Amino acid sequence: MDATDADVIVVGAGLAGLVAAHELTSRGRRVALVDQENAANLGGQAFWSFGGLFLVDSPEQRRLGVKDSFELAWNDWQGSAGFDRVDDEDSWAVRWARAYVEFAAGEKRSWLEGHGIKFLPTVGWAERGDLRADGHGNSVPRFHIAWGTGTGVVEPFVRYAEQAARDGLLTFHHRHRVD
């Protein structure tokens, strides 16, 4: 398959691009995955990251006595984002943010587990902000560390992309910068 035969061109083989590519190839779409870096950089920043994942009202939090909810997390998110043009320039950002917090309070944990990603029993408190309920940052701990840290998060999606390439559904285009 040539890049021009692909149904979708995904620009960037970081975690976002790899997940998007998997969502597409698992539905039979043909993907050209383009990245300015070489094959050793698959996974982008996430490969180097700590792999701390934002989850809301998880079993790990409850075990530690952390009381969390969608409402609290959405309130925290808005405190950090400071959306002030909700009917105008911020409208899509607000929709995306709310959908993401719903995902984090809902199917995100089981979705990740479905890809073999599991969590350490502790929950960290990254980006705790100014410690006010209506201020910047997470008012409770939400930083769930994946086993294997960032490499553990990236691994299944690299594996899927490589399998999709073998199946003829995905082509890698390393060292190609999109302008």
Ligand X SMILES: Cc1cc2nc3c(=O)[nH]c(=O)nc-3n(C[C@H](O)[C@H](O)[C@H](O)COP(=O)(O)OP(=O)(O)OC[C@H]3O[C@@H](n4cnc5c(N)ncnc54)[C@H](O)[C@@H]3O)c2cc1C
Q: Which stretch binds ligand X (CB under 6 A): 5-13, 75-83, 91-99, 134-142?
A: 5-13
Range 133-162, binding ligand X (CB under 6 A): none
Residue 3 burial (CB < 10 Å; 0-12/13-18/19+)?
middle
- Whole-number minimum distance, CB 45 to ligand X, in Å? 4
Q: Which of 12, 137, 148, 152 binds ligand X (CB under 6 A)?
A: 12
- Whole-number minimum distance, CB 108 to ligand X, in Å? 12
Nearer to ligand X, 17 or 79 (CB): 17
Nearer to ligand X, 9 or 87 (CB): 9
- Whole-number minimum distance, CB 49 to ligand X, in Å? 3
Range 14-73, binding ligand X (CB under 6 A): 14-17, 34-37, 41, 44-46, 48-52
- Whole-number minimum distance, CB 93 to ligand X, in Å? 15
From the list 43, 42, 44, 68, the residue with the least C-alpha distance to 55 is: 68
Q: Which residues bind ligand X (CB under 6 A)?
A: 11-17, 34-37, 41, 44-46, 48-52, 177-178
